Structure 1
Amino acid sequence: MKMEAAIFDLDGTLLDSMPIWQGLGENYLLQKKLQPTPGLQDALKTMSLPQAAQHFQSAYGLRETEATILTEIETLLADLYRYEVPLKAGVAEYLQTLQEQNVKMCIATATERDLAESALERLGIREYFSTILTSSEIKTGKDNPRIYQRAFEQLGAPITKTVVFEDALHAIETATAAGFRVVGVYDESAAQDRERIEVLTEQYIYSFSDWKG
C-alpha cells in the first residue's frame, strides 16, 4: 500500500486500551452513587470525553461543571495511561518502517492530550508523530470528519496517498464518507462489527505484526 501520510487513531488501534474505556462510564457513575442505565456503554462509544460529560449532566442530572467532570474522569484514567496501557503487537516496528519510508504520521484521537502524550512517551513512540489532534481540541467527536480533515491539512500529502488507521466502526464510517482511504485494525471491542468494517475499508488487519502492507 503506497502512502505518503498516515493518520492513526490511538485507543484500540495503536494502544491495547479499550478494556479500560469499556467500563469507564459505569465506574464513574457508580462512584457518584448513580445507577448506570442499560446501553450506557453503547451510547458513550461514539462520544468524546466532553460529549460524555455533557451526557452525564443531561441524562443523570450531575450538577458538576463539564470541566469538573472531565477532571474527575481523567483522574481515573491518568495512572493507567502513565504506567500500564500497552502497545498492540507490532506497532513499534511498523511505525519505524513507515519512518524509514519517509511517511508523515500524526495521531487523531478522542483521548485527552495529556493522557495520549504520557502513554506515547512512556512507550517510546511519540517521536514518530508530527502532531497529536484530539477531539476536545477540535471540538467534535469522530462522528464528524473534522479531525481527519485537520490532520490531512497538517500532513500535506495528497488524499489519495493519505491513509487513516482506525478500529471503531463509527469512526471508519466517518472517515470513508469523507473520502479517506482507511485500514481497519482489529480490536476485540469492535469484533461484532468486523464484517461491516471489512466492507468499508481498503484493508483489514488483525495485527501490525502480521501485516506487510
Structure 2
Amino acid sequence: MMDKKDLKIIIFDMDGVILDSEPLHENARQMMFREFGIVPDDTFPDPVGKSSSGFWRKIIELCGIEGEPYALEKEQYRLVAKQIEENHIPPSDGLKEVLAWAKAHGVKIGLASSSTRVLVDDALRLVGVDEAFDYTVSGDEIKAKKPAPDAYLKVLELSGFSAENAVAIEDSCAGVTAAKNAGVFCFGYRNATSGEQNIDAADRIIENLKEILDEVRTCPCFEER
C-alpha cells in the first residue's frame, strides 16, 4: 500500500509506459542490423530502458561497423517515430485515465526518459498526450542515463518537489533502479512488450496503468479532497 502524505507529482517513463514503443525500437534496431549485415547474438547487451547511444557504442565495438553512436541512436529514433506515426500507435491502456485524474486533483505530471528530446517530443505529440505533461526530461539533457537517477532528480528539481512528493512508473529494471536511486516510490509496470525485465525492486507491481488509481485514490492526502 502506498503511504504518501503529500502526493504532488506523478513521473512517467516513456518507452514501454506511455506507449508500447519497445517493439518499435526493436524493429528499428533490426532494420539497422540488416543494413549493416549484422546477425545479433548473445553478446549483444540488453537495450531496454537504457542508453541507445551506449547500446550502439557496444555494437560498434563488437561488430566493427562504421558509424558514430549518437548518429546511430538518432537514426533508430527516426525509425521509431516513423512507426508511431504510420501505424497510429495509441497511448498505453489506462494512461489517459491516470492523466485525467491527476489534472482533476491538482497533481503535476512529469516524464523522465532516456530517449532524446526529439523523440520525446515526437512520441508525446503523436500519441496525443503532449499537453498533459508539466515537466519533461530527456536523456540528452542529463549527465547520466538510467539506471542512474539523474532524469528523476532533474524532474524533481524543475518541479520544486521532493522525492517524498512523487511516484514513478517504470517498465524496466534500469528504470526501476533509477527511480529508487532517486528516492521515489516506484510502480513497476509489467508490460509484456518490454521483454523479460526484473522489476522486483519496485514498491508495487502493476499489470495495467489503471491500477495506479486504486493506490492514489486511497492516498491520505486526498481523503478530504
Partners of 2:141 and 2:25 in 1: CA distance = 20
Specify whether residues 37 and 197 from structure 1 end up closer, same or farther in structure 2 by C-alpha distance, changes over 3 A only: closer
CA contact (8 A) 2:25 2:77 kept: no
Partners of 1:181 and 1:67 in 2: CA distance = 32
- Structure-2 residue corresponding to 1:202: 203
- Tell me the TM-score normalized by structure 1: 0.86
Partners of 1:144 and 1:80 in 2: CA distance = 29
Partners of 1:167 and 1:110 in 2: CA distance = 13
Deviation at 1:95, TM superposition (A): 0.4
Say if 2:180 is the partner of 1:180.
no
- Structure-2 residue corresponding to 1:116: 120
Q: Secondary structure at the match of 1:6?
A: strand
- Structure-2 residue corresponding to 1:72: 75
Deviates more, 1:120-129 or 1:23-32: 23-32
Q: Specify every segment of 5 or more residues in structure 2 that has no aligned partner in the other structure, as ranges.
A: 216-225
- Structure-2 residue corresponding to 1:132: 136
- Structure-2 residue corresponding to 1:63: 66
- Structure-2 residue corresponding to 1:161: 165
Partners of 1:13 and 1:165 in 2: CA distance = 7
Q: Secondary structure at the match of 1:43?
A: coil
Specify whether residues 139 and 51 from structure 1 end up closer, same or farther in structure 2 by C-alpha distance, changes over 3 A only: farther
Counterpart residue type for residue 181 of structure 2: A
- Structure-1 residue corresponding to 2:214: 212
Higher helix share: 1
Deviation at 1:190, TM superposition (A): 5.0
Q: Secondary structure at the match of 1:98?
A: helix
Q: Specify every segment of 5 or more residues in structure 1 that has no aligned partner in the other structure, as ranges.
A: none
Q: Secondary structure at the match of 2:100?
A: helix
Counterpart residue type for residue 201 of structure 1: A
Q: What's the Cα RMSD here? A: 2.2
Partners of 1:206 and 1:159 in 2: CA distance = 24
Deviation at 1:152, TM superposition (A): 1.1
- Tell me the TM-score normalized by structure 2: 0.82
Deviation at 1:191, TM superposition (A): 6.4
In percent, how many aligned pairs have the same letter? 23
Aligned residue pairs, count? 209
Counterpart residue type for residue 139 of structure 2: S
CA contact (8 A) 2:13 2:175 kept: no
CA contact (8 A) 1:4 1:161 kept: yes
CA contact (8 A) 2:23 2:194 kept: no
